[in-house]
Copies of this chain bind each other. A is one copy, B any other.
Amino acid sequence: MAKKRRTKTARKPPQQSRSRATVDAILDATIRILDKENWSKTTTSRIAQVAGVSVGTLYQYFENREAILDALQEREFERATTMLQEVLVSGGPGSDREAARSVVERLLGLYVESPGLHRVLVVEGLRVTPADRVQAFDLRAISAIRAFLAVADVPTRRTNLDAAAFVIFQSVRASMLSWLLERPAGIDGSVLVEELTDLVLRYLVADER
């Protein structure tokens, strides 16, 4: 009945290099397992085994099994926002379409790197009870997109920017993830990027000429 407490923080801030290595080993092991198994089969002892440490050690660094996933999620979130920043900054000469394609392309790159993780992130996100959703991952992601749209100053046809950010996030994420997992025949990576760029741009931009 008692709900497991998620924690954002590792038990001990890994200060020493050995610790750091152990934490990384655990996170990497988890990612590797997630490519083959779903979260519920990603057991702590399996993670520990793959990481080459004991369960005890795992629990020295993570409050509980969930905390490992949280850490991974945080890392991915940071990668994505950093990426958005970079595109924003470097986006001098190119057209809007090129910038958009770049974002989509690089985002897909993030997904391709660890498909299993992203699958589980979606699955577990869907699992969360409404009450816990307040600071959930996708809300933060949507805020980030919202901010990005504002800063990028896109001449949009949308009036409800909250709704737009929401729809874009869900659409792009779901498409990329399913593509990754299903690898549907006849749709290769570049096609997907093109379709999504077009989807987003035509939805968003006042009129593309």
Contact = CB atoms under 8 A, between A and B. Distances in A.
Interface string A18-49: 00000000000000000000101000000000
A182 interface: yes
A96 to B, nearest CB: 15
A192 B167 CA distance: 8
A167 B175 CA distance: 6
B163 A170 contact: no
Given A123-B123, A167-B196, A162 B184 contact: yes
Given A139-B182, A162-B185, A202-B202, 11 more contacts: A119-B126, A133-B181, A136-B182, A138-B178, A139-B184, A162-B186, A163-B187, A163-B192, A167-B192, A171-B174, A171-B175
18 contacts: A123-B123, A126-B177, A139-B184, A160-B186, A160-B187, A160-B191, A160-B195, A162-B185, A163-B186, A163-B191, A164-B195, A166-B187, A167-B171, A167-B192, A170-B171, A171-B174, A171-B199, A203-B203
A130 interface: yes
Given A160-B186, A173-B174, A203-B203, A179 B166 contact: yes
Nearest to A37: B129
In the A-B complex, the 6 residue pairs with the smallest Cβ-Cβ separation, listed nearest first, are A174-B174, A171-B171, A170-B174, A202-B202, A170-B175, A2-B2
Instruction: Give the contact-size bracket for chain A.
Output: 35 or more
A158 to B, nearest CB: 8
Contacts of A184: 139, 142, 162, 166
A128 to B, nearest CB: 9
